[in-house]
Amino acid sequence: MQATDIFERLQNGETISSNDAQAYKMREASFATKKLLVQMNNATEPEEIRSFLSQITGTEIDESVMVFTPLHINYGKHTKIGKNVFINFDCVFLDLGGITIENNVQIAPKVSLLTESHPLNPAERQSLIPKSIHIKKNAWIGANATILQGVTIGENAVVAAGSVVSKDVPDNVVVGGIPAKIIKEIKSI
């Protein structure tokens, strides 16, 4: 049975036309999230920030998670955050396509996780193409890095500051550059 709800279709990776009958729901949801974000980004206590983030994501954010605001999210309900995750200042999560952040992930300032894109054809460019991002456990995403849609960052991987990651990153490597390429392997002690 094919999903009919726009948010289910987004999570399933379906391209959403700009004239889709339910497109307005994405805008409404973004404005509802924005109201919570304003409150979260003005909160000063870690517990309060986690409480707002729990409301935004629709999941319980573990007390081991630390978020330095501001954090910008356009939807929230398609973001899943594990335990002992650190998210530093001024990150951007466009999550309509789905973002999974596993345990022990570190995300530096100004990181962008972008699960959304648009067709190249100008006649269709207003459509939305969602593809999920998955950051596996113990990964470290460096400052001002951009992770593009459809990318998986492997366990223990490091993304160097300023990188643009457009392809999957294997476990236990350091990647860097634009586009990001493997720089070296990480050897366990």
- Strands (DSSP E) contained in the chain are 66-67, 71-73, 79-81, 86-87, 91-94, 99-101, 106-107, 112-114, 116-117, 129-130, 133-135, 140-141, 146-148, 152-153, 158-159, 164-165, 173-176, 181-185
The conformation of residue 121, written as its DSSP 8-state character, comes to S
Identified catalytic residue from 72, 78, 118, 134: 118
The amino acid at residue 91 is: C
pTM: predicted TM-score of the whole model, two decimal places: 0.95
Condensed to tens digits (0 to 9), the pLDDT of residues 133-160 reads 999 999 999 999 999 999 999 999 999 9
What domains are defined for the chain? Answer: 6-185 (2.160.10.10)
72 among known catalytic residues: no
Q: Which pLDDT score, from 0 to 100, does residue 46 have?
A: 97
Q: What's the CA gap between 10 and 37, in Å, rounded? A: 22
Condensed to tens digits (0 to 9), the pLDDT of residues 20-58 reads 999 999 999 999 999 999 999 999 999 999 999 999 999
